[in-house]
Amino acid sequence: MASLWLGLSLLSGGGPLYGEYLARSSLLLSLPWVEGFPAFALITPYGLLATLLPSEAQPALQAASALELLLMGLGLARIAAPLRNLPREQQAPAWMLDLLYPLLAFPYALLHDLMLLAPILALWAAARPSPRWLRTAIGVYLGGLFMPFLGALTRLALPSLLPIGVLIAMAREGLLQPNLRRTPPPWPGF
């Protein structure tokens, strides 16, 4: 998807604009330390660490974020590759991780990006409904309501705990271990 977005931007004459964006992207990564910026609205691990650490930690955080981006991308590829030729209903874990990836690996995402959790929860419900899914959905809903408020009070990016919590719940549910059976699973497809 990222390659398609970049390719279309370049083909439509957006090369200089994209170059300017890349040149200024380091400014985005320093926003959590800018006075008056609502850093509590960041929903990534980078955002959480940026609200906990001083601005001097920014170079180390950027390096760690780049490494996290690479390692999580490789992990996603490792889970998704064996599923690519299976029926669509068995590909749900890869689609869920694909939607969760930017919320965990990219350094900059805000509260409105939490909307990506809705299709993740919908895919989970279609692939394998369970009590853990229900607890996770309720937790995400309540967390989306209260964590921004608590984050504003504490000046911490508390909403960044929501995508991490969804990943942990998926792992505990066994959704990170792909089902490589060729027969349809016992749950309904999507």
Q: Is 140 exposed, middle or buried (0-12, 13-18, 19+ CB in 10 A)?
A: buried
- Give the length of the chain: 190
Q: Contact 137/19 with Cβ under 8 angstroms?
A: no
pLDDT tens across 15-51, in order?
777 677 767 777 778 888 988 889 999 999 999 999 9
Cα 187 to its chain centre, rounded Å, is 26
Domain ranges in the chain are 57-190
pLDDT tens across 176-187, in order?
876 555 444 444
pLDDT tens across 90-142, in order?
888 888 888 899 999 888 888 888 888 888 888 888 878 888 888 899 999 99
Q: Is the dihedral of CA 64, 70, 73, 77 positive or negative?
A: negative
pLDDT tens across 63-96, in order?
998 899 899 989 888 888 888 888 877 888 888 8
Residue written as token pair 């940026």: 50
Q: Phi and psi of 172, rounded to 5°?
A: -65, -30
Q: Is 69 exposed, middle or buried (0-12, 13-18, 19+ CB in 10 A)?
A: middle
The percent of the chain in helix, strand and coil, each rounded to the nearest 5, is 75, 0, 25
Query: Cα–Cα distance between 49 and 42 in angstroms, integer?
Result: 10
Contacts with 46 (C-beta within 8 Å, 6 or more apart), sequence order = 29, 61, 65, 106, 107, 108
* pLDDT reported for residue 85: 87
Q: Contact 139/165 with Cβ under 8 angstroms?
A: yes
